[in-house]
Chain A
Amino acid sequence: QQQVKQSPQSLIVQKGGISIINCAYENTAFDYFPWYQQFPGKGPALLIAIRPDVSEKKEGRFTISFNKSAKQFSLHIMDSQPGDSATYFCAASTLNTDKLIFGTGTRLQVFP
């Protein structure tokens, strides 16, 4: 049973475009939602994270939008660059635990 569902599986975007990756969760006890970025041959690294008390968090070109009632959150990458080409994972955890449940990942390719 996939507790965190992620889509799309792959995404191709032209340089300068907007990349959007969506995640949905089932467990209402989740209260921390990070996004991790993984380059080929490397381990994942934290990109940006949000708590459910806010509906949006922005860091540079990366924005998380959060809809608590719909149990959905998404990552928006503005002005996508070839250097953003990587696999992106959404994740979720419950209060006071570092136990992360990951989505299945989205492979993003940004072409010049």
Chain B
Amino acid sequence: NAGVTQTPKFQVLKTGQSMTLQCAQDMNHEYMSWYRQDPGMGLRLIHYSVGAGITDQGEVPNGYNVSRSTTEDFPLRLLSAAPSQTSVYFCASSYGGSGKNIQYFGAGTRLSVL
């Protein structure tokens, strides 16, 4: 049981480049989300999904796109990378619906935008 898998672990981009951060879970969880972690800012919610085909914005959605075509996968797309998007990105998943479910986090993707 792999849990939540994020790829890549590290990435360096130039300003203006685009890329996709991958997230996959094998626990049949309905709820998936993306957070960014910055020093002194905690974990801030970027986008989330309550099931396949359903996505919504979190606290800091600008500059990011998501889609949820399957239960297992929830990729995060950076359309035109900016230095302000330098951060550590975490994907999480949970069963969803009850409001008290354990969220399982991936190991993170460390992104630097030059």
Q: A: which residues have CB within 8 A of B?
A: 6, 9, 31-32, 41-46, 49, 51, 89, 93-105
Contacts and interface: CB of A to CB of B under 8 A. Distances in A.
A43 B105 contact: yes
B20 interface: no
B33 A99 contact: yes
A43 B99 contact: no
Interface of B: 4, 31, 33, 35, 40-45, 48, 50, 58-59, 90, 92, 94-108
A31 B90 CA distance: 24
Contacts of B42: 6, 89, 102-105
Nearest to B108: A43
Contact of A98 (B59, B96, B105, B106): B96
